[in-house]
């Protein structure tokens, strides 16, 4: 029987789906959540219900989040690791042209929902001397055109993670912020409103990070000896580097 339980948000695609597979393979109990119920059902059909529990809800719906937590089967109720992965970027326009509704959705998903999941599960994590892995991004520390609110939400995730470490001092709970650069998932498809050609073009020839790379990173962090905490981890593909400052002249 699995001995540890991980809750992975955003398990229907990209990093979350790969991390779900990684932890199932590693023998953990997995709670996999996301909005796309059909993907979760397909996943559930491939695994034993003693090892995988799925719950479909929108993380922006606090009531649904509370219900998903309250409805956890007994064997899944003690959570050892929360992977706060659900998130998105919407749009690439500069701030002056950006869509306010898209900004709001990014804040609601990447910040407000992540904070809620964290707060609601912290008592269980403390009880189990567990761990939190939060998906931030290199956009938290490197500015790029169109990164505006997305980068702002990820800067919040990075700082919130560090602040959590301080508050959780002495509890044994570990907290890590992962800050990946360019990774090929459904991320750009979502960001561009479903433009597969734009997504393919962005990643073409760049050898981007894969979802499995991040899943292995999270697995490594989670399986380190319990006296070690990885505070932050920034990872880019070799093909990507910082591009410096810009100067506008009249």
Catalytic positions are 150
Using CB under 6 A, which of 133, 183, 215, 221 touches ligand NDP?
183
DSSP of 3-14? --EEEEESTTSH
185 in Cβ contact with 219 (< 8 Å): no
The answer to whether 175 and 230 have CB atoms below 8 angstroms apart is: no
192-231 mask for ligand NDP (x: CB under 6 A)? ----------------------------------------
The Cα–Cα gap between 168 and 126 comes to 8
Residue 237 gets the label, from left (phi > 0), alpha (psi -120 to 50) or beta, of beta
Say how many residues touch ligand 8X3, by CB under 6 A: 6
65 binds ligand 8X3 per the rule CB under 6 A: no
CB of 7 to ligand NDP, least distance (A): 12
Q: Under the criterion CB under 6 A, does residue 190 sit at the interface with ligand NDP?
A: yes
Contact 55, 31 (CB under 8 A): yes
Report yes or no: 35 and 50 within 8 Å, Cβ to Cβ. no
Contact letters (x/-) for ligand 8X3, 101-140, by CB under 6 A? Answer: ------------------------------------xxx-
Residues that bind ligand NDP (CB under 6 A): 10-16, 34-36, 58-60, 85-88, 109, 135, 137, 180, 182-183, 185-187, 190
């Amino acid at each position: 029987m699995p001995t540890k339980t991980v809750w992975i948000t955003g398990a229907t695609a990209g990093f979350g789906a790969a991390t779900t597979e990684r932890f199932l393979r590693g023998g953990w109990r997995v709670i996999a959540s996301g909005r796309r119920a059909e993907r979760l059902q397909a996943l559930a059909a491939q695994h034993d219900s003693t090892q995988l529990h799925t719950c479909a809800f929108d993380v922006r719906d606090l009531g649904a989040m509370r219900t998903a937590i309250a409805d956890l089967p007994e064997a899944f109720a003690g959570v050892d690791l929360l992977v706060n992965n659900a998130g998105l970027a919407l749009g690439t326009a500069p701030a002056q042209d950006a869509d306010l509704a898209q900004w709001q959705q990014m804040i609601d998903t990447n910040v407000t929902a992540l904070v809620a999941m964290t707060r609601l599960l912290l008592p269980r994590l403390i009880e189990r001397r567990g761990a939190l892995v939060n998906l931030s991004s290199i956009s938290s520390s490197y500015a790029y055109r169109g990164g505006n609110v997305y980068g702002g939400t990820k800067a919040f995730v990075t700082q919130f993670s560090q602040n959590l470490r301080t508050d959780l001092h002495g509890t044994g709970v570990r907290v890590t912020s992962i800050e990946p650069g360019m990774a090929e998932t459904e991320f750009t498809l979502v960001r561009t409103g479903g433009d597969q050609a734009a997504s393919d073009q962005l990643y073409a020839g760049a050898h981007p990070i894969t979802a499995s790379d991040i899943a292995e990173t999270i697995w490594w962090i989670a399986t380190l000896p319990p006296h070690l905490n990885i505070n932050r981890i920034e990872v880019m593909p070799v093909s990507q580097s910082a591009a410096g400052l810009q100067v506008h002249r009249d």
